[in-house]
Amino acid sequence: MLLQVLGTAAGGGLPQWNCACPGCTGARAHPERRRRHASLAVRVGERRWYVVNATPDIGEQIEGATELHPGPGARQTPVAGVVLTDAELDHTLGIARLREARDGVDVVGTSPVLDAVRERLGLDAVLGPYTPVRWRELPGGAGRPLDGESGITVSAVPLSAKKPRYAANSPDSSGYWSVALRLHDSGTGRTLLYAPALAVWSDAFDEAAHDADCVFVDGTFWDDEEPLRSGFSTRTATGMGHLPITGPGGSADRLARLPGRCLYTHLNNTNPLGDPHAEQHKLLTERGIEVAAERMVIEL
């Protein structure tokens, strides 16, 4: 299983267009600090890839990854589809940018996520006149083949019943609004767990994390008080649905005990990890934990 990191930022990216916080100001002054919205590409065959979460940056992300460039035909693309971890706007708006797909596109997600994207955002009706979209439900449990005979299966580990604001009045209250993706390669026996939004470290998630060879985890905020301290929110990190990296119950202590490779993604623009020279990077490195980098390639 070959993975390519397409982006590592939380909603708004780094810098965020309307923000002059130290993180965004620093990224404008130092372009190497810029981060696109969190996303990942997974190869399922020769010149055939799925993108995890379709962000507003998806066009630029594809251009930044040579393996995802079109060809050899004029409109032949290796991007076969999208797998969604949730229905949040920063993870779904990029689906509309795939309307030029000549042979259509697969969109894989849990039932409430697909309902929200198709009906609440209206993407089923909007995209229909442009390209066929094949909406495929993402299961829990043992999983299903991601694509044909690739040997890669995908399943959902339920994380939260948190709904995006535009779907707040949806009657569905299941825990499948936000999930971690478990991707398993039967050929190598290796497993990836991808959780860019993590509110609570549940027993089910802990079991999946211990079973994984590589784990990407929500790194939105460094500590629980960061949103309050930054002045952009009246809620803590956990109040916003993101388990902080450090502090009581933080994810770093748990990641340090896992057997597999562990990386943080989905960094908010206020997170000090946005600065590659921040001392917080050293603290994580000492514990064997990484911060995912743009265009990073991982083979499992």
Residue-wise DSSP of the chain: -EEEEEE-B-TT-BS-TT--SHHHHHHHH-GGG-BPBPEEEEEEETTEEEEES--TTHHHHHHT-GGGS--SSTT--SEEEEE-S---HHHHGGGGGGTT-TT-EEEEE-HHHHHIIIIIS-HHHHHTTTS-EEEEEPPSTT-EESSTTSSEEEEEEEEE-PPPGGGTT-S---TBSEEEEEEEETTTTEEEEEES--S---HHHHHHHHH-SEEEEE-S-SSTTHHHHHTS-SS-TGGGT---SSSTT-HHHHHTT-SSEEEEE-B-TT-GGGSTT-HHHHHHHTTTEEE--TT-EEE-
pTM of the model: 0.97
**Virtual torsion, Cα 67, 300, 253, 236, nearest 10 deg:** 30
The mean predicted confidence, pLDDT, of the chain is 96
**pLDDT value at 148 more than 90:** no
Model confidence band, residue 21 (pLDDT cutoffs 50, 70, 90):
very high
pLDDT given for residue 172 in this prediction: 87
Give the domain CATH number at 179. Answer: 3.60.15.10
Parent domain of 66: 2-298
Q: What are 30-43's pLDDT values in tens digits?
A: 999 999 999 999 99
**pLDDT value at 48 more than 90:** yes
**pLDDT value at 106 more than 90:** yes
Number of domains present in the structure of the chain = 1
Distance of CA 273 to the CA centre of its chain: 17
Q: What are 69-85's pLDDT values in tens digits?
A: 999 999 999 999 999 99
**pLDDT value at 149 more than 80:** no
